[in-house]
Amino acid sequence: MSEPIEQWVELYRRAWESNDPDDIRALFTEEASYRTEPFAEPWDGHLEIVEGWLDAQDDPGAATFEWRVAGRDQHTYFVEGVTDYRDGPIYSNLWVVKLAPDGRAEEFTEWWMEQEPAQG
């Protein structure tokens, strides 16, 4: 049986590619909190999350994303990923995702750092 986070990340990638407000809303509880950086003011609730997402959206196909579950504490998952933008740069990611019983996120915080270019 797959972990709830696996389905959530799959739906996140769908929303990332579609930028469809319904796909974005489907990821989060109505009162969810989304932080684009650990100490940033959160986007709270569906309206702010959708607006913030669309203001910062990527074009479909702009990036690939590889990930793995780095850990779990009850309903909170720690996801380690690499976002590789077709036209650069590459980011290392850590997501902290607290899922509600229905599989939607109650809290989401992303930590991201640009990787140094490979030395040739």
Contact 9, 79 (CB under 8 A): yes
Q: How many CA atoms lie within 13 A of 67 on its CB side?
A: 23
In a domain, 119, yes or no: no
In a domain, 69, yes or no: yes
DSSP element (H, E) containing 105: strand 105-114
Please tell me the pTM assigned to this model. Answer: 0.91
Q: What domain count does the chain have?
A: 1
In a domain, 120, yes or no: no
Please report, for the domain that includes residue 33, its CATH number.
3.10.450.50
Tens-place pLDDT, residues 74-91: 999 999 999 999 988 999
Q: Sorting pLDDT into bands at 50, 70 and 90, what band is 116? A: confident
